[in-house]
Amino acid sequence: MQFLPLHYATAFGAACLLAATVGAAQSPAAATKSAAAPTGQAHLLAHEAEVNALLKKMTLEEKVHMLHANSAFAAGGIERLGIPEIMTSDGPHGVRPEQGRNWKPPVDANDASTYLPTNNTLASTWNRDLGYAYGTVLGSEANARGKDIILGPGINIVRAPLNGRNFEYLSEDPYLITQMVVGYIKGVQDQGVSACVKHYAANNQETHRDDVDVDMSERALREIYLPGFKAAVQVGGVNTLMGSYNKFRGTYATENAYLMKTILKQEWGFNGLVMSDWGSVHNTDEALRNGTDLEMGTDLYLMYSGADQSAATAAAGTTPTAPKRSYYDRFYLADPALAAVQKDPSLLPLIDDKVRRILRVMYATKMLGATKRQPGAFNTKGHQATALKVAEEGIVLLKNEGNLLPLKKSVKTVAVIGANADRANSMGGGSGQLKAKYEITPLQGLKNELGSGVTINYVPGYTIARDQKADAQQIAQAVAAAKAADAVIYVGGSIHGYDYTKWSDNAYDAEAVDKPDLKMPFGQDALVQAVLGANPNTVVVLLGGGPIEVAPWAGQAKAIVEAWYPGMEGGNALAHILFGDVNPSGKLPFTFPVKLEDAPAMKLGEYPSTPGNPLKEMYKDDIWVGYRYYDTYKVAPQFAFGHGLSYTTFEYGKLTVKPAAQRATVTLTVRNTGKTAGAEVVQVYVKDLKSAVKRPEKELKGFEKVFLKPGETKTVTMQLPADAFKYYDEAKKQWVLEPGQFEVLVGSSSRDIRQTGSLTL
Ligand code: BGC
């Protein structure tokens, strides 16, 4: 089989607060279920005596054997000492199917798992409890499948709208990330296995992900790109972390002393292990000294050829007379590391530190030690119910003019238009691919919802294929169906799926490649316009991993729903929302620009690279990411960060902001003034009125999702600690709180502020 270029191939390798700056109440679930667990990183030191005793028994060869993969997803293992292999699996929205050691998938494997909505859908729930529930499903299923580490969550900042991997990430806002990541990690780790937060750091695009050299100001690094990772370590207590492919300030992330040693291990006190992304180590000495504890990667020859191990070993150059060494023994942290220490014994403490970190994770996940892990569960009804709940709370109602939604169940004929309605997405996207136990497509969900008494007329309207243009005949069929129906539901947007015969079809939401543009693919703009022309009451549903341009027809549409990639129960969740069984409560975790060129990464930044140098990228957009840019630079978005409508209405009562020593308490009432039960995400933004440095117009520093029955009022109280008011001072190399006046803006989105208060600190 033909080899793909390396930057594609690595995809298949896969294919394959600051303590929450705000002390908004931790989710009750997370609080109770994790009450007994130690916080931060201390739990990783609970078995230090045993770890050191075990380390003493190991030969140098055995130590080095622990530092690298021994097949696509397994590493280490020393039989003599009873040390098992570490088994890993992607991640990040379900446990992926078995690939087999040599990329020969086992024939009868019971590996069709729960397919959760993608990470961006989770972020859209703004519900910390669901972060925990989501992690619980992953941890439980990983455990049941014999995995020790689940390769998720993905938490890189959604900076560039074209990033092919935005669907695996959470948000453009660091605070929202800190809040959602903690529950996810605790959920996974309370099941006994480890989470692996990825990709550290500055891996915000797939174009040239293997070799792009990213640079940015120290302020942008500290204020925007690192808070999620810091919260994962210090609040989430994550056991493992993955070093990204890209370079940062001239050095690969996996070998980057500043990122790995100075910040992660020293400043943040990370006690766990750093693994490389698959094939992201490039130098033995640098990795030994500066960063990675465990080198992961995959034997691409085996992966593509399906050949057996000995054939691969021969192909890779081992002479028949030499002792059989596997492909993995030639990793940077394998034979070359052994040779390096043998030559220079002063390197030994570095090896010991790495082995120690690996053993700590093994004790923390009960792979070693007297107590054994409780068994996990696979594909339970409860897990499927979590998938449904996350989708129901993550789907976002973007527009609903004249209350077109919810639709009435008394309809007789429904036209469902759009090839996405009938398309499964679980096997798509790269390393996040899943063999789902089942996947309810939007079309199936609508059939389930409406039953046999309603006629559903499905018309694809377009063909999912690269460079597909609008097709007059298909449009005519769609228009005819739209005219003949009582209700029209258009399901389009982007796709998420690998078709192995046509790689390039996947240049939409997929790993290792960014999107070509932000337009609706496959000629959909013309189709949507024609369908809306034929029936102005058409509801437009979008699928996708990030923002998409809707400006060509958004003014014409009365109702627009963003459904992301909503997982195995996604079609049911969507139908529940469209027909009013569930009141939407999702909010956008990133801005939808009117057009791609408006995005700060395009306008101020250098995405995808510095002009004339494809391997260099300076983040000139600095801290002006997402709404920080749109609001400060007064650029109108299509849909604002934090936006999402409901079938009911909420009234925000009077706001009080009570300052105390370097902190504040924010209190207000919220009332459901409509006739339907619903949930509102009350968002708190802080604005510094006068500052020595330019600061954003507003920054999210707190939120609460409040569930209200019709007529019900609740009092919402949120704490804003000192951190909520600080910025990173590059000269002082620290966060500073500049005394003075601050505004507290409370609203339903970043552009829908309902109450304003102020305080002087
Ligand atoms: C991806 C990682 C993934 C790994 C293992 C890599 O290509 O970047 O996110 O966990 O493969 O599949």
pLDDT computed for residue 498 by the predictor: 53
Going from the Cα of 518 to the center of ligand 1, the distance in angstroms, rounded, reads 24
- Does residue 383 fall inside a structural domain? no
CB of 90 shorter than 6 A to ligand 1:
yes
Q: How many residues does the chain have?
A: 761
Residue whose tokens read 């639709």 = 407
Going from the Cα of 730 to the center of ligand 1, the distance in angstroms, rounded, reads 33
Measured CA to CA, the distance from residue 607 to residue 205 in angstroms comes to: 9
Residue identifier of the C-alpha nearest atom 3 of ligand 1:
14
Residues 533 and 670 in one domain: no
Measured CA to CA, the distance from residue 252 to residue 560 in angstroms comes to: 42
Going from the Cα of 155 to the center of ligand 1, the distance in angstroms, rounded, reads 13
Instruction: Return the closest-CA partner of residue 429 out of 122, 213, 163, 246.
Output: 163
Going from the Cα of 13 to the center of ligand 1, the distance in angstroms, rounded, reads 6
Going from the Cα of 245 to the center of ligand 1, the distance in angstroms, rounded, reads 10
Q: Which of 254, 431, 434, 514 is the best mutation target for the ligand 1 pocket, counting ligand atoms within 8 Å of the beta carbon and taking the most?
A: 431
- Does residue 376 fall inside a structural domain? no
Domain end residue (candidates: 556, 582, 608): 582
Instruction: Return the closest-CA partner of residue 565 out of 312, 391, 356, 693.
Output: 391
Measured CA to CA, the distance from residue 348 to residue 338 in angstroms comes to: 10
Residues 318 and 419 in one domain: no
Q: What is the per-residue pLDDT across 320-369, written as a single tens digit (0 to 9) for each?
A: 444 557 889 999 999 999 999 999 999 999 999 999 999 999 999 999 99
Domain end residue (candidates: 522, 557, 582): 582
- pLDDT surpassing 50 at residue 552: yes
CB of 198 shorter than 6 A to ligand 1:
yes
Residues 252 and 317 in one domain: yes
Residues 100 and 157 in one domain: yes
Dihedral sign computed on CA atoms, order 338, 340, 346, 351: negative
The overall average pLDDT reported for the chain is 91
CB of 149 shorter than 6 A to ligand 1:
no
Q: Tell me the residue range of the domain where 65 lies.
A: 6-364
Instruction: Return the closest-CA partner of residue 99 out of 167, 165, 12.
Output: 12
Measured between its terminal Cα atoms, the distance across the chain in Å is 65
3-state helix, strand, coil in the chain (%, to 5): 35, 20, 45
Taking CA 91 as the corner, what is the angle to CA 112 and CA 423, rounded to the nearest 5 degrees? 55
Measured CA to CA, the distance from residue 624 to residue 619 in angstroms comes to: 10
- Does residue 587 fall inside a structural domain? no
Residue identifier of the C-alpha nearest atom 5 of ligand 1:
14
- Tell me which DSSP letter residue 436 carries: B
Instruction: Return the closest-CA partner of residue 63 out of 43, 82, 77.
Output: 77
CB of 449 shorter than 6 A to ligand 1:
no
When comparing pLDDT for 227 and 465, which is higher?
227
Going from the Cα of 512 to the center of ligand 1, the distance in angstroms, rounded, reads 10
Selected catalytic residue, list 190, 277, 688, 723: 277
CB of 291 shorter than 6 A to ligand 1:
no
Active site residue 277: yes
Q: Which of 511, 513, 514 is the best mutation target for the ligand 1 pocket, counting ligand atoms within 8 Å of the beta carbon and taking the most?
A: 511
- pLDDT surpassing 60 at residue 309: no
- pLDDT surpassing 80 at residue 5: no
CB of 10 shorter than 6 A to ligand 1:
yes
Residue identifier of the C-alpha nearest atom 11 of ligand 1:
14
Question: Which residues does 506 contact at the CB level (< 8 Å), separation at least 6?
Answer: 428, 495, 497, 498, 499, 513
- Does residue 616 fall inside a structural domain? no
Residues 222 and 274 in one domain: yes
Instruction: Check if the beta carbon of residue 126 is closer than 8 Å to that of residue 182.
Output: no
Residues 308 and 188 in one domain: yes
CB of 206 shorter than 6 A to ligand 1:
no
- Does residue 457 fall inside a structural domain? yes
- Does residue 655 fall inside a structural domain? yes
pLDDT computed for residue 34 by the predictor: 40
Residues 406 and 359 in one domain: no
**Which atom of ligand 1 lies nearest, measured to the CA of 198?**
9
Residues 399 and 498 in one domain: yes
Q: What is the CATH number of the domain that holds 294?
A: 3.20.20.300
CB of 16 shorter than 6 A to ligand 1:
yes
CB of 254 shorter than 6 A to ligand 1:
no
Lowest mean pLDDT among 10-14, 126-130, 410-414, 738-742: 10-14
Q: What is the per-residue pLDDT across 482-517, written as a single tens digit (0 to 9) for each?
A: 999 999 999 999 987 655 445 455 568 989 889 989
- Does residue 599 fall inside a structural domain? no
Domain end residue (candidates: 364, 382, 409): 364
Residues 654 and 544 in one domain: no
**Which atom of ligand 1 lies nearest, measured to the CA of 91?**
10
Residues 674 and 718 in one domain: yes
Q: Measuring CA to CA, how many Å separate 123 from each of 154, 198, 526, 588, 633? A: 11, 16, 31, 8, 25
Residue identifier of the C-alpha nearest atom 1 of ligand 1:
14
- pLDDT surpassing 90 at residue 17: no
Q: Is 650 helix (H, G, I), strand (E, B) or coil?
A: strand
Q: What is the CATH number of the domain that holds 719?
A: 2.60.40.10
Residue whose tokens read 């092919």 = 164
Q: How many domains does the chain have?
A: 3
Rounded to an integer, the average pLDDT of 672-701 is 98
Q: What is the CATH number of the domain that holds 522?
A: 3.40.50.1700
HSE-CB of 553 using CA atoms within 13 angstroms: 25
**Which atom of ligand 1 lies nearest, measured to the CA of 209?**
8
Residue whose tokens read 């109280």 = 717
Residues 333 and 416 in one domain: no
Query: DSSP for 529-553?
Result: HHHHHH-TTPEEEEE-SS----HHH
Going from the Cα of 625 to the center of ligand 1, the distance in angstroms, rounded, reads 25
Residues 436 and 341 in one domain: no
Structure tokens at 87: 């088994």
**Which atom of ligand 1 lies nearest, measured to the CA of 154?**
9
pLDDT computed for residue 107 by the predictor: 86
pLDDT computed for residue 103 by the predictor: 78
pLDDT computed for residue 248 by the predictor: 98
- Does residue 38 fall inside a structural domain? yes
When comparing pLDDT for 294 and 315, which is higher?
294
Q: Please confirm whether the linkage preceding 153 is cis (ω < 30° from 0).
A: yes
State the pLDDT confidence band at 466, using cuts at 50, 70 and 90.
confident
Measured CA to CA, the distance from residue 576 to residue 541 in angstroms comes to: 13
Q: Measuring CA to CA, how many Å separate 505 from each of 419, 428, 518, 566? A: 14, 11, 15, 21
**Which atom of ligand 1 lies nearest, measured to the CA of 245?**
8
pTM (predicted TM-score) = 0.94
Going from the Cα of 279 to the center of ligand 1, the distance in angstroms, rounded, reads 9
